[in-house]
Amino acid sequence: MRPTPLTEHDLDRQLPEFYPRIYRMVRAMVYGSGLDPEDLTQDSFLKVYKKRHMYNGTSSLYTWTYQIARNTVLDALRRNKLQRRIFFWTESETQPDEFSANETGDQTLDRREQQQMLRKALARLSEKDKLIITMRDLEGMSYDEIAEIENLAPGTVKSRLFTARQRLKEELVRMGMDPGSD
- Model pLDDT for residues 56-71, shown as the tens digit of each residue: 888 888 999 999 999 9
Q: Is the pLDDT of residue 129 over 50?
A: yes
Residue 164 has pLDDT above 60, yes or no: yes
pLDDT at residue 74 is higher than 70? yes
Q: In this predicted structure, what is the pLDDT of residue 57?
A: 82
Amino acid 139: pLDDT: 79
Instruction: Please state, for a pLDDT cut of 70, what percent of the chain lies above it.
Output: 77
Between these two residues, 71 and 118, which has the higher pLDDT value? 71
- 109 has a pLDDT exceeding 90: no
3-state helix, strand, coil in the chain (%, to 5): 65, 0, 35
**Who has greater pLDDT, 121 or 67?**
67
Question: Chain-centre distance of CA 8, in angstroms?
Answer: 26
Domains and CATH numbers, the chain: 1-82 (1.10.1740.10), 104-174 (1.10.10.10)
User: Looking at residues 22-40, what average pLDDT do you find?
Assistant: 86
Query: 75, 81 in Cβ contact below 8 A?
Result: no
Higher-confidence position of 59 and 98? 59
Please determine, for residue 75, whether its predicted confidence score (pLDDT) is greater than 50. Answer: yes
Q: At what angle do helices 154-174 and 143-150 cross, to 10 degrees?
A: 100
What does the alpha-carbon distance between residue 141 and residue 157 come to, in Å, rounded to a whole number? 11
Q: Is the dihedral of CA 54, 56, 61, 62 positive or negative?
A: negative
pLDDT at 93 over 80: no
